[in-house]
Amino acid sequence: MFASGPKALVAAIGVVVLAGCSAQSTDSTDVKVGAGDSAESRLLAQIYAGAIRSAGTAVEVESGLGGRADYLESLDRGDITLIPDFTGALLSEFDSTSRATESEDVFVDLNRSLPEGLTVGDYALAEDRTAIAVSPAGPFADASSLSDVESDLYGRRMGVLGNPPKPDPQEVVARLEPGIGDGFTDVVLYLDARTAVDALASGEIDVLAFTTVSFGPEAADLVTLEDTESVFPAQNVVPLLRNGSLNDTALATLSVVAGELTTADLADMIGEVRSGGDSGDVAARWLGEHNL
C-alpha cells in the first residue's frame, strides 16, 4: 500500500511525533480531511476539519473514500492531508506483528511503524476498543471482569453488531485465552444496537461483543466486563497526517480535540448521525461547546 522507507521513531512514551510539521506552513487551499464511509469516520472528519478551521486555516472534507485501505491509499497519494482513525486499527495495518495492547504502547508502536512522510497527532481520550457485555440477569450476573467468565464460556452464544460485524468475531475469539473462545456454540449477528441490547437482556445471547464508540449511545445500557489485562488492544482516536502539512496553530487544535473528545461524547454523536443528523452540524455543536 505504502512505499517503503525510513520509519519514524519515538523518543519517549507519550511524546507526539510531529517532527518537521512546524517547519512548513501549509497552503490554505491544500488542506483536505478525508472521511471513509462509516458514520464514525464522517463525524470524526468533520470534528478535525472544524478544529483546523478554527485556527484560521481553510479546510474541506473529502467524503466517501471507502474503507480503511481506500482512504490510506488516498493519503499516500497526497489526495488528502489528514484522516482520523483508531490507533490499534492503524497499527494492524502498518505492523501486524505488534503485540501492544495498552494505549501508550500501541501509540509508540504505531509511531515506529509509520511509512516515511506520515505522522500522527496526540491520541484522544475517545476510543473504540472491543469490550464484552453480559446480562445482569444472566449466567454471568456476578461477573465484573473477563477473568471471571473465562472458564465458563464453553457452549455460550455470543452476539455481535453489524454486517460485516464489528468487532470481527474471529478476532474476538483469537484475543481470548487459548481454547476459551473456541467454546462458543455460535455467533448471532444483529443489525441494530437496540436489538442486540434487548437480546442480551432476554437471554437470547449470553455475551455481547461490541466496540465502545461504534456501538453508539446504547453502550451506556450495557454491563461491561473490565478488561484488566488489556486482552483487546487500544483503539484511541488519532489523526494521521502528512508531514509538514499543517502549521503550528493548526497542529495545536489537534491536541485540543485529543484532550476533550471522550468515548461517551463520540458514541452519543454517532447515535445522532445514524438517526439522521448531519455530521457537520453535530460536529459543529461539539466544537462550539469546546471553544473550537
Position 14 confidence tier, pLDDT thresholds 50, 70, 90: very low
**Using DSSP, how many helices (H) and how many strands (E) does the chain show?**
9, 11
Q: Taking 70 as the threshold, does the pLDDT of residue 15 lie above it? A: no
In the chain, % of residues over pLDDT 70: 87
Q: What is the mean pLDDT of the chain?
A: 87
| Secondary structure (3-state) at 19 | coil
Angle at 227 between CA 150 and CA 87, to 5 degrees: 130
Higher-confidence position of 105 and 10:
105
- pLDDT computed for residue 175 by the predictor: 82
pLDDT in tens, 53-83: 999 999 999 999 999 999 999 999 999 999 9
- Mean pLDDT across the stretch 12-21? 36
Handedness of CA 7, 13, 18, 20 (dihedral sign): negative
- pLDDT computed for residue 126 by the predictor: 97
pLDDT in tens, 144-190: 998 888 777 777 889 999 988 999 988 888 787 655 545 666 889 99
CA distances from 100 to 55, 223, 233, 263 (A): 34, 26, 7, 21
3-state DSSP of 61-86: EECCCCCHHHHHHHHHHCCCCEEEEE
pLDDT in tens, 81-122: 999 999 999 999 999 999 999 999 999 999 999 999 999 999
The pTM score is 0.86
Measured CA to CA, the distance from residue 120 to residue 98 in angstroms comes to: 18
Query: Which residues does residue 223 pair with via DSSP β-bridges, in sequence order?
Result: 134
CA-nearest of 65, 229, 30, 86 to 147 is 229
